[in-house]
Structure 1
Amino acid sequence: MSFLIGEKMTGGYGGADILHDCTIAADQGEIAVIVGPNGAGKSTAMKAVFGMLNIHSGRVMLDGEDITALTPQARVAKGMAFVPQTSNVFPTMSVEENLEMGAFLRRDNIQETIDQVYELFPILGDKRRQNAGELSGGQRQQVAVGRALMTQPKVLMLDEPTAGVSPIVMDELFDRIIEVARTGISILMVEQNARQALDIADKGYVLVQGRNRYTDTGQALMNNPDVRKSFLGG
Structure 2
Amino acid sequence: MTEPFLIGDTMSGGYGSGPDILHDCTVSVDKGEIAVIVGPNGAGKSTAMKAVFGMLDVRQGAVRLGGEDITKLTPQARVAKGMGFVPQTNNIFTSMTVEENLEMGAFLRHDDIAQTMAQVYELFPILHEKRNQAAGELSGGQRQQVAVGRALMTQPTVLMLDEPTAGVSPIVMDELFDRIIEVARTGISILMVEQNARQALEIADKGYVLVQGRNAYTDTGKALLADPEVRKSFLGG
- TM-score > 0.5 by shorter chain: yes
CA distance in 2, matches of 1:197, 1:143: 20
Distance 2:24 2:8 in 1: 10
Please state whether the residue corresponding to 1:187 is helix, strand or coil.
strand
Instruction: Report the counterpart of residue 162 of structure 2 in structure 1.
Output: 159
Structure 2 residue corresponding to 1:207, chosen from 203, 207, 210: 210
Q: Deviations over 1:105-154 (max 9, x none)?
A: 00000011000000000000000000000000000000000000000000
Residue correspondences, number: 234
Q: 1:29-77: CA deviations, max 9, x gaps?
A: 0000000000000000000000000011000000010000100000000
Give the residue type in structure 2 aligned to 1:43: S
Identity %: 82
Aligned partner of 2:5 in structure 1 is 3
**Structure-1-length-normalised TM-score:** 1.00
One-letter identity of the residue aligned with 1:62? L
Q: Tell me the equivalent position of 2:139.
A: 136
Distance in structure 2 (CA, Å) of the matches to 1:61 and 1:161: 24
Aligned positions of 1:1-234 closer than 5 A: 1-13=3-15, 14-234=17-237
Root-mean-square deviation over aligned CA pairs: 0.3
Deviations 1:140-197 (A, max 9, x none): 0000000000000000000000000000000000000000000000000000000000
Whole-Å separation in 2 of the counterparts to 1:165 and 1:35: 18
Taking structure 2 as the reference length, what is the TM-score of the superposition?
0.99
Q: Which amino acid aligns with 2:7?
A: I
Runs of 5+ consecutive residues of structure 2 not aligned to the other structure: none
Deviation at 1:28, TM superposition (A): 0.2
List structure 1 runs of 4+ shifted beyond 2 angstroms: none
Distance 2:227 2:167 in 1: 28
Question: Structure 1: where are the runs of 5+ without partners?
Answer: none
